[in-house]
Amino acid sequence: MNTDDLNFAYKVRHALNEHLDDLPASTSERLAAARAAAMARKKPHAPVKAAQTQLVGNIGALFSFSSLGRMGVALPLMALVAGLAGVYQYEEQQRIAEIAELDAAVLSDELPLTAYLDQGFNAYLAQRGQ
């Protein structure tokens, strides 16, 4: 039920309750019999919901079970994405530091001349990185 339906139901209930004492006895008996018949036909597994109070700005919906369930899925996903982004940033910083160290070694002539002439220079760099 949406809020318009609930408001209408509350207004009808209030109007009926206001004039309850003015009803004739025969009408009250027929209403009681109709209610008893309706309750007998009610499905046993259908839960009876209590009327929820409306909070200003519907703050209560923020802490309902359905929103908590959604947050229970969204929060771990956001934490996972933040963690993966952090790992990616860390790995990129490590790669940049290794490249900077290699460039500094090349520019400061710390590498032996054979390293420049050797075809296995990449193997030398890989060994130096370990």
Distance of CA 83 to the CA centre of its chain: 17
The CA distance from 54 to 42, in Å, is 27
What is residue 88's predicted lDDT score, i.e. its pLDDT? 97
Q: DSSP string covering the chain, please?
A: --HHHHHHHHHHHHHHHHTSTTS-HHHHHHHHHHHHHHHHHS-TTSPPPPPPPPPGGGGGGGGSHHHHHHHHHHHHHHHHHHHHHHHHHHHHHHHHHHHHHHHHHHHTT-S-HHHHH-TTHHHHHHHHH-
pLDDT in tens, 48-81: 555 455 545 556 555 566 666 777 778 888 999 9
Q: Is the pTM of this model over 0.85?
A: no
Distance of CA 109 to the CA centre of its chain: 56
Q: What is the pLDDT along the chain (130 residues), one digit of tens a residue?
A: 678 888 888 888 888 778 777 878 888 888 888 888 888 887 776 565 554 555 455 565 555 666 667 777 788 889 999 999 999 999 999 999 988 887 787 777 666 666 667 667 777 667 766 6
